[in-house]
Structure 1
Amino acid sequence: MADVIVIGGGIAGISAAAELARGGADVLVLEMEGQIGYHATGRSAAIFIRNYGNATLRALNAVAEPIFEQPGEISDQPLLSPRGELMVASEEELPILDAYLDGSTGIDRLTGKEAAEIVPILRADRIAGAMIERGARGIDVDRLLQGYARMLRARGGRIVTGAVVTGLSHRAGLWQVKTAQEQHSAPIIINAAGGWADDVSALAGVPRAGLQPYRRSAAIIPTPQGYETEHWPIFGSIAETWYAKPEAGKLMVSPADEDPVEPHDAWADDMVLAEGLHRFEQAVSVSVTRVEHSWAGLRTFAPDRTPVVGFDPRATGFFWLAGQGGYGVQTAPALSRLTAALIAGVAPDVSSEVLAAMEPGRFGLE
């Protein structure tokens, strides 16, 4: 028996488990794959963008940023590296750019010419406006994930991989969690199952939260000949029709697709990828000569695009930690501490408005 069982070994589940173990809880993580961080975590664009997301997510980003900057026990090496984010807009996309800038901090507005001076393959004649967030930084996702896993194990926490949950029931004040191999029990379970979180809730007899996984694809292409890309920022369309990021001497390009899918081990759709690469080519002065590698991951959103975090009002001891969408890695340091605080019954370091925005009962299903 454990104090808390976490279902899901992505960055959300592992970081929350580590913070709970830091507080003295006996924590067990059950991960259905053969390794932690296999799905969304391992396929992240790995960038910290302070102004990314709605007001609730920006509040979480503000809590997470100093933890990334001074990771303490998580890592003895930096988790962030300089990168920057440059977004461009056509004439029709200027309202989207204006909306993004509203309430943002640390962002400079640019002309098309200025944007092309930073990323010289951009076609200045196609840019009506642009912005750069120089403070956006790359995240060492593996170091972050393994650092939390190390913290968890150092405090006696356990991680069981290949543990597909097949049954969930609540009796005598305990959740009984059945896998193909064995059965575990704990008074509290954390549903950190990513794209499978609604399936976990249904297995427990808890109403679904309306979570929808979406596929996001990416491809690695050669660095454009004659250019040094190492110091380029991540760059793309403010309308999220494509983006690109320097990646180990090459370019990662994504069509920024968001196709609703069932939870599965995602792969890139060739047609979607081709369409996205075409949009990229329309915005730059170079051609895509070949794709060296492609993949896809899942981004899972609640209907209002805000994470679902907290105890479910309809099920004793059932805690949601899901719906992080494309923000899961960069919000993990904040949401893990928030989770530990809520479970311990202490005041979290976010406002009551932020808590209310993420409350699992907010969809009128209490």
Structure 2
Amino acid sequence: MEIDFLVIGGGISGASAGFHLAAHGRVLLLEMEEALGYHATGRSAAFFSEYYGGPAVRALTRWSRDVLSTPPPGFTEYPLLTPRGVLTLCPAGAEQRFEAALRDGAEASRPAREIVIHDIPVYCPIVRLEWCRRAMVKPAAQDIDVNALHQAYLRGIRAAGGQVLRSARVVALARRGGVWHASTGLGEFRAPVVVNAAGAWADELAGLAGLRPVGLTPLRRTAFLVDVPDGLDATRWPMVADVTETFYFKPESGQLLVSPVDATPMPAGDVRPDDLDVASAAVRLEEATTLTVRRIRRAWAGLRTAAPDDVPVVGVAPDAPGFLWLAGLSGYGVQVAPAVGALIASLAVGATPADIGLDPTPLAPDRFTDRQASPERLP
């Protein structure tokens, strides 16, 4: 089967790329699992924060915000963003990290602002005031309907005449005669352009193609649900986070979603929550709040895959024509999906990314040729 663009990976970044590429030719999206977005997209915390990540990530997030706030007509019948906000707490000894987060938060459309400790109960009444030294609110943060966004992209691919195939793991990938040949259990597919959106398997896919890996690391992130204390309605509470990233919690379907904000390196695969991570987060939660965790309702874990500098890898491979990287999106994938999908499409068709207001330079795969990347993640 011959197509114009072959996208490998059915998570939200691959779906976004396929959606944008479908305006320029025939798209085929291949997903190795039976369920699309199984390992990362489907296990997302479903949160959109302009305050999250370093400068390159925040630029992608700002670009994506406008699309998510006002999607194209007919794109989806559901609102994609819902106001939530973040209450960020500073425990003893974390004042420098708090200052850095407050400074970076000034760039958001609604800047972060410090509040006095005694105003914390206005936002969340279960926080122990004696646990905090300082606090800030980040009003621009929002919940995001991940499934609605993901499905809208997939519908768009199909509406443009593209195809989405599941259970189609690529077992061989080679370029012959200016065309990429991908072999799967469902047959062979040929395209002049391949987009590597394979998540935790992106380096492995590059290896199949004979290309150098960029050094991606799959990281486990755990979450679990607990009950809201009797007599309280958490519906309008913000996400509450520790600036040192030892826990966060947010309202979720009448309960509280809690995470230890773990980032444990793992082999690519179907990850499961670690009991110690869950127990540690429950202890931190009880220390910082008046909540008593009597029961874990449900626990799960997902994979977020990070580049060595924690900046997404988006662009043309320096060692293979027609091979584009869309990987290393770490925990930012959902919120930057509109931007990286539009960017990968512009690069694939030879357009100028500046025309859509995006700078691909910080994201380029060739930045790893000297392996001297430095971390960009900011608290």
Instruction: Answer yes or no: same fold by TM over 0.5.
Output: yes
Matched residue SS, 1:56: helix
Distance 2:349 2:135 in 1: 45
Whether the 8 Å CA contact 1:111–1:127 is kept in 2: the answer is no
The one of 326, 331, 340 equivalent to 1:335 is 340
Distance 1:15 1:116, change over 3 A: same
* TM-superposed deviation, 1:55: 0.2
* Count of residues paired in the alignment: 365
Whether the 8 Å CA contact 1:5–1:190 is kept in 2: the answer is yes
Distance 1:151 1:365 in 2: 39
After superposition, the C-alpha distances for 1:333-364 in whole angstroms (9 at most, x for unaligned) are 11111111111211224899942211101012
Match of 2:8 in 1: 7
Match of 2:124 in 1: 119
Distance 1:82 1:150 in 2: 26
Matched residue SS, 1:361: helix
Q: How does 1:1-366 map to 2 (within 5 A)?
A: 1-21=2-22, 23-72=23-72, 73-105=74-106, 106-349=111-354, 354-364=359-369
Distance 1:237 1:204 in 2: 42
Normalised TM-score (structure 2)? 0.94
Matched residue SS, 1:303: coil
After superposition, the C-alpha distances for 1:292-325 in whole angstroms (9 at most, x for unaligned) are 1000001111000000000001011110000000
**Paired AA for residue 75 in structure 1:** T
Matched residue SS, 1:36: coil
**Paired AA for residue 111 in structure 1:** V
Q: Unaligned 5+ residue runs, structure 2?
A: 372-379
* TM-superposed deviation, 1:104: 2.3
Matched residue SS, 1:299: strand
Matched residue SS, 2:104: coil
Distance 2:52 2:177 in 1: 43
Distance 1:132 1:249 in 2: 22
Percent identity over the alignment? 41
**Paired AA for residue 306 in structure 1:** V
Whether the 8 Å CA contact 2:285–2:291 is kept in 1: the answer is no
Normalised TM-score (structure 1)? 0.97
Deviates more, 1:309-318 or 1:74-83: 74-83
Distance 2:154 2:358 in 1: 31
* TM-superposed deviation, 1:24: 2.7
**Paired AA for residue 313 in structure 2:** V
Deviates more, 1:115-124 or 1:299-308: 115-124
Distance 1:168 1:315 in 2: 12
Whether the 8 Å CA contact 2:117–2:132 is kept in 1: the answer is yes
Match of 2:376 in 1: none
Structure 1 outlier segments of 4+, above 3 Å? 349-354
Matched residue SS, 2:161: coil
Matched residue SS, 2:63: helix
Whether the 8 Å CA contact 1:12–1:321 is kept in 2: the answer is yes
**Paired AA for residue 28 in structure 2:** L
Q: Unaligned 5+ residue runs, structure 1?
A: none
* TM-superposed deviation, 1:117: 2.7
Distance 2:112 2:101 in 1: 10
Whether the 8 Å CA contact 2:115–2:136 is kept in 1: the answer is yes
Aligned Cα root-mean-square deviation (Å):
1.5
Whether the 8 Å CA contact 2:88–2:137 is kept in 1: the answer is yes
* TM-superposed deviation, 1:281: 1.0
**Paired AA for residue 59 in structure 2:** A
